[in-house]
Amino acid sequence: MPVTIAGLDRLMMRGFKLLGRLAIFGCLLLLTGCLQYDLNIQFDSQTHGQLVQQLHWRGAEVLTNPDWSQRLTELRDRTAAVDGTIRFVDEQTLTITIPFNNGAELEQKFNDFFNPETITSGLFNLPSGEAITAHLALRQNNWFGVIFNHVDIQFDLTSVPDLTATRLPLLQQQQLLIGNVMLTAPWVRLPTGELTAAEQWALVPGQVNTLTADFWVPSYIGIGAAAIALFVLIGYGLKYWLRLG
């Protein structure tokens, strides 16, 4: 069957589009490398916890690269604003630790860190300038000695292209971002109803990731108050018993 000029034009246009997509995603990988992002929300008790984030760039030595200087400065400012610290593990890896003293502080510091009022080119921005944002909402109830928590977390990764969705063979084993979110607490309820010490979710590029969980932490203030009340009752009981005796 003969190929028409119009058919050749369409084939050439498809070829150019394919090459263009390869070039764009290839440049992104060369400029930024692949980011491995892991977040662990560690909630030990009613009055103590920390956010631990580890960022590892495969193929990009951000610590010694002058092109990353402004981004590192802004990240240090964002971390300091929420009383956090940054530690460089090596030239490609850093760890951010943000402490919190209660649920309200966790919610505030998480949202302030991921959605600062002024930011121009942070490490959570793509080279095109699009930001990666996240939001956390926490609801708490006191259950006499333990605190019940329901957490909702949203990671908006719609600006991060899912390279596997391009169906381009050269990009099938590549991603601009690979990440996991973990919740660590004394008692975390899994979707099956089983209680465990941690739950983990994988982040999926190209979409809004919605994560929810229920967990409990001990309330030492509540336990202390209950113990005091118990001792008072025992004291009154002994006093009454001695009077009767």
Instruction: Please name the helix (run of DSSP H) or strand (run of DSSP E) that holds residue 74, with its range, or none.
Output: helix 69-81
Task: Name residue, tokens 């080119």.
Answer: 121
Residue 220 has pLDDT above 70, yes or no: no
Q: What is the pLDDT of residue 15?
A: 42
Largest separation between any pair of C-alpha atoms in the chain:
115
Compute the Cα dihedral for 80, 82, 87, 90 and give only its sign. Answer: negative
Quote the mean pLDDT of the chain: 77
Structure tokens at 174: 């590549």
Is residue 6 scored above 70 in pLDDT?
Answer: no
Find residue 63's DSSP bridge partners: none
**What is the residue type of 85?**
T
Q: According to the model, what pLDDT value does residue 205 have?
A: 86
**Residue 172: per-residue pLDDT:** 44
Whose structure tokens read 């019940």? 148
Tell which wins on pLDDT, 64 or 222: 64
Token reading at 38: 């892991």
Length in residues, the chain: 245
| Position 10 pLDDT exceeds 70 | no
Strands 208-218 and 177-189: antiparallel
What pLDDT is attached to residue 50? 97
Tokens in use for 67? 């092109």
- The burial class, CB within 10 Å (0-12 / 13-18 / 19+), for 12 is exposed
Taking phi over 0 as left and psi of -120 to 50 as alpha, with beta for the rest, 175 belongs to beta
pLDDT (tens digit, 9 = 90+) per residue, 206-215?
Answer: 899 999 999 9
SS3 state of residue 132: coil
Predicted TM-score (pTM) of the model is 0.75
The CB density around residue 139, as the number of other CB atoms within 10 Å, is 12
Selected residue with higher pLDDT from 109 and 1: 109
pLDDT at 18: 39
| Residue 226 pLDDT greater than 90, yes or no | no
pLDDT above 70 for 192? yes
pLDDT band at 169 (very low <50, low <70, confident <90, very high): very low
Instruction: Return the higher-pLDDT residue of 81 and 233.
Output: 81
Q: What is the mean pLDDT of residues 150-177?
A: 69
Give mean pLDDT, residues 115-140: 71
Pairing of the two strands 85-90 and 93-100: antiparallel
Q: Is 94 helix (H, G, I), strand (E, B) or coil?
A: strand
Pick 94 or 172 by higher pLDDT.
94
What pLDDT, on a 0 to 100 scale, did the predictor assign at position 198? 95
Q: Are 109 and 52 in contact (CB under 8 A)?
A: no
Question: Between 59 and 228, whose confidence is greater?
Answer: 59
CA angle 148, 151, 157 (to 5 degrees): 170
